[in-house]
Amino acid sequence: MPFHRSHLHSAEATLMTKGDPKKVILTFAVPIFLSQLFQQLYNTADAWIVGHYLGDQNFAAVTSSASLIHLMISFFVGASMGAGVVISRYFGAEDPDRVSRAVHTSILVSLISGLLLTVAGVILTPQILRWMHTDPKILPHSIDYLRYYFLGSLALVMYNMLKGVMNAVGDSRRPLYYLIFSSVLNILLDWLFVGPLGKDIRWAAIATMISQFASAMLCLLQLSKKGTVYALSWRKLRIDGKLLKEILRFGIPTGIQNSVIGLANVMVQSNINTFGDIATAACGAYSRIEGFAFLPITSFSMALTTYIGQNLGAREYGRARKGARFGILTAVVMAELIGVTVMIFARPFISAFVENPASIEIGVTQARTESLFFCLLSFSHCIAGICRGAGKAFVPMTIMLAVWCVFRIAYITIAMRISHNIVLLFWAYPITWTISSVIYLIYYLKSDWIHGFETPEERAARLARA
C-alpha cells in the first residue's frame, strides 16, 4: 500500500514538532517510564522468585550474569537507537518514503543480528563466565541460566528494534501495553516453573524467553497493520544501502558506547566476584534496586532523542532547546528523589532479596555509596540522548569510552592493587558519573549541537545571515 502524507498523522504516530514541548515530552516519556517500570518489576520478580525458591547461590548465579547480558545485547540496542534517530528525523521532516525504507532496513538488520547473537551467546557463555572469575560454586547455575537466556536473544533484539521504530514516530503507548503483558506473563511463568512445579534455574530463563517472544510478536503484529506510517510488508524487507549507512552512522557509535559501558561493568563484576558468592549476591540485590533509578533516566533520555530528532529534522531550533532544558531538569530531579529513597530505605530493600547478614551489609554499603549520585547519572544520559537526536552520536561514544570505560577500568585496576576493598569498587561509579557530567555540561553549553542536521548550503546561508 503506498504511503500518503496523512499517514504521518495517524493515531499510531505523533509529531513532536507541534504543541507545548513540556506536554509533548511528558506524553511520550510517561509510557516509556511505565514500560521500564514493568520491565524492572518483572526482572526484580524473576530474581526474587529464584532467590526465594532456589536459594542465595542461584540468586547470585542470575545476578552475576546481568552485566554480561548487558554487554552482549547493548551493541544491538544501540543500533536500534541509530535507526530511531534516522526514522524520527525523516518523520519530523514529513518524508514517509524514507521512513518506510528505514523501517524495513532496520527490521531486516535486527533479524540477522538477533540470530547471530543467539549463536554467539550459547557458544561463548561458559568461557566468558570463567573469564569473569565467576565463583565455582555458582558457575554451573550461571551457565545453565545464561545459555537458556540467550536462546531468546532473537526476540530481545527484535523487540528493541520494533519498539524503537514505534518510539521514533511518537508511539510509546503500544510498546507499554505489550511490555505489561509480557511482564505479567514472565512473572506467572517464573512462579509456576520454579515454585509449584519445582523446576531448576534453567526454567527461570525459559520463562523470560517465552515472555520476550510474546512481546516481539505483538510488536510485529502492530507494525504489520496497514495504513500506518511504519506499515511493515514482508515483501519489502530489503536493505537500502544509503539509509543503512545513515543508520550505522548513528547506531554504531551508540552501540560502541553501550558496549564499552557493558565491558566496564563486566570488569567491575569480575572484581566483585573475587570477593565470593556473598558479595556477588549482595551486589546483585543492589543492582535490582538501582534499576529503578534508571526508569526516569531511560524514559527521558529516549524521549529527548526522539523529540530532538523530530524537531531538528523540522528545523525547529528554539523548540528543540526549550524541550531539552525541560527534559534534563525533570529527569535529574526524579532520579535524585529515587536516590534519596534508596539511601533511606537501603536495608529493607536489600533484605528483600538476600537473607545472609553479610550480604545485606555489603548491599547496604553499596547503596549508600552510590545512590545520592543518581542525579549525575541522569544528567549524563540525558545529554547523551540529546546528542544522539541531534546526529552527534560520536560525542557520547567518545565521552563514555574515555570516562566510563578506560578511566573506570584504570581506576579499578589501580584501586584493587592498593587495597582489595570492595568499597573502592563501589566508588568507581560516582567518580566516573561526576567526570562525565562535567564534560557533558561543557559540551551542551559551548557546542553547536543544535544544527546537527544542517546541509552545507543551509549552514552557509545561516552564517551569511549572521
- Per-residue model confidence as pLDDT tens digits over 8-31: 444 456 677 888 899 989 888 888
Q: Is the pLDDT of residue 6 over 60?
A: no
Displacement of CA 135 from its chain's centroid (Å)? 27
Mean pLDDT of 273-285: 84
Q: How many angstroms separate the CA atoms of 408 and 228, rounded?
A: 45
Instruction: Evaluate whether 330 touches 28 at the Cβ level (below 8 Å).
Output: no
Which amino acid is located at 129 in the chain?
A: L
d(CA 91, CA 114): 26
Amino acid type, 354: V
Query: 234 by DSSP, 3-state: which?
Result: helix
404 vs 257, higher pLDDT = 404
Per cent of the chain over pLDDT 70 is 90
Read off the pTM. Answer: 0.70
pLDDT: is 182 or 6 the higher one?
182
pLDDT interval class at 399 (50, 70, 90): very high
Between CA 266 and CA 121 the distance in angstroms is 15
Average pLDDT, the chain: 83
pLDDT at res. 7: 47
Distance of CA 273 to the CA centre of its chain: 24
Task: Determine the Cα–Cα distance for residues 339 and 346; give it in Å rounded to an integer.
Answer: 10
Residue 77 has pLDDT above 50, yes or no: yes
Model pLDDT for residues 325-374, shown as the tens digit of each residue: 999 999 999 999 999 999 999 999 999 888 889 989 999 999 999 999 99
Residue 420 CA from chain centroid, whole number? 31
The residues, any chain, with a CB within 8 Å of residue 379's CB and separated by 6 or more, are 328, 331, 332, 437, 440, 441
pLDDT for the residue numbered 338 = 92
Confidence (pLDDT) at 343:
93
Cell of 283: 551486589
pLDDT tops 70 at residue 71: no
For the chain, first and last CA: distance in Å? 45
